[in-house]
Amino acid sequence: MLVPPYNPGMDTPTLNRREFLTTTAAVTGTLALPGITGQTQAAIPPATQPHTSQPGSFDFIHLTDMHVTARRKGDQGYRTCVQSVRDMKNQPAFALIGGDMAFDGLYTPKDKYVEQVRLYKEISDGLNMPYHHCMGNHDVLGWSGRRKVQVTDPDFGKKYIMDALQWDNPYYSFDHNGWHFAVLDCIYPIQQDHGPGYEPRIGDEQLDWLAYDLGAAGDRPKVVMTHIAAFCNTAQIKGDPTAPGMPPGIVLRDTAKLQAVLERHKVKALLQGHTHRPEEYRWRGVWYITSPAVSGAWWAGDFTGAGPGYTVFHCGEEGELAWDMLPYDWEAQLEPDDGLERDRNAQTQAKRDEQAKLLTLERAGR
Ligand SMILES: [Fe+2]
């Protein structure tokens, strides 16, 4: 059974949404850039074999940033999330997992990280549907100056989680019912003063792969997933005019290049995670959708007013894409040393109470 529409609280507007991106709506709706959305323009010919079958209708689910850990009973939280998916009346055909499956591998001792990955797999298997992972920064072992493993560790970097999940390539694509899905790896390796690290970037080689992969998909409706967002309105959310538009670590460094590929191939939506702030943003015919984090504030409650949740996507026979951001029922289980989180939750509740009080006064006209 679907839980009520997602309403993360006072910091963001109600996010229950059902936007149909039919080919006609695309040119009569919020955007009407010829050649960018819709198929009123000449269709781009497929790069390989032509696609003739019509897309079928189905649902899929986007679960991101579950940060699985026994701390704060996060493993139980994720089990609750998975159960809520299994309780859905209309079962999704598959799950796209948006990254940060493990609580952390960058600066966590290896034995704990290994257990987090094990828990992630065990609990995700309970979805009883295919699930497709996307690499998150916290899924990587040791690419940080705070690493707790040697750089010579045989499981260093992406190797451990890819082996454990029998994951052949960190970026890949697949088809379902006439729709095409591409999964990106934006955890781009770089050398830093401390040794191996990463920056949020797709990189030219992968972008080239993506362009030809989407080209080969021809006219199929297309959805792409990344962990770190191409668009994120952090500065606007904070209301800080001095905040950078592309804060380091928060937004992809090569958003402009990715955006061009997505537009060229009429991709319906880029699914994003990482910030734990649900957002929907439409730019030049592409939806940039950041789903709620499954873990909310890393299992400590709501993060900037957004609680634990996920997004269900509805794919239609005419290539329509609609979605609902949904919460699931989980109360934070704070630990004795979670003083900061306790204070933050109290502040959040005080702000909510204040907003409720103002609303009551304003509706009463006094
Ligand atoms: Fe995360």
pLDDT surpassing 90 at residue 12: no
pLDDT one-digit tens code per residue, 245-272: 888 899 999 999 999 999 999 999 999 9
Distance (angstroms) between ligand 1 centre and the Cα of 360 equals 36
Beta-carbon count within 10 A of 341 CB? 18
CATH classification code of 23-333: 3.60.21.10
User: What residues are neighbours of ligand 1 (ion), with CB under 5 Å?
Assistant: 65, 100
Record the pTM.
0.86
Task: Average the pLDDT over 275-291 and give the result.
Answer: 97
pLDDT surpassing 90 at residue 28: no
Report d(CA 196, CA 265) in Å as an integer. Answer: 34
Distance (angstroms) between ligand 1 centre and the Cα of 109 equals 18
Q: Which of 21-30, 144-153, 202-211, 341-350 has the lowest mean pLDDT?
A: 21-30
pLDDT at 342: 97
CA distances from 90 to 57, 86, 105, 181, 328 (A): 12, 9, 35, 21, 16
Q: How large a percentage of the chain has pLDDT more than 70?
A: 85
Task: Average the pLDDT over 144-158 and give the result.
Answer: 97
pLDDT at 241: 92
Distance (angstroms) between ligand 1 centre and the Cα of 218 equals 33
* Strands in the chain per DSSP E: 58-63, 95-97, 131-133, 172-176, 179-183, 187-192, 195-200, 222-225, 269-272, 279-283, 286-290, 309-315, 321-327
At residue 316 the predicted structure's pLDDT band, cuts being 50, 70 and 90, is very high
What one-character DSSP code corresponds to residue 233? -
At residue 143 the predicted structure's pLDDT band, cuts being 50, 70 and 90, is very high
pLDDT at 111: 98
Distance (angstroms) between ligand 1 centre and the Cα of 357 equals 33
pLDDT at 54: 66
Task: Average the pLDDT over 298-308 and give the result.
Answer: 94
Mean pLDDT, the chain, rounded, equals: 87
pLDDT at 8: 39
How open is the CA angle 59-311-286, to the nearest 5 degrees?
Answer: 85
Distance (angstroms) between ligand 1 centre and the Cα of 100 equals 5
Which of 128, 103, 130 lies closest to 114 in space, CA to CA? 103
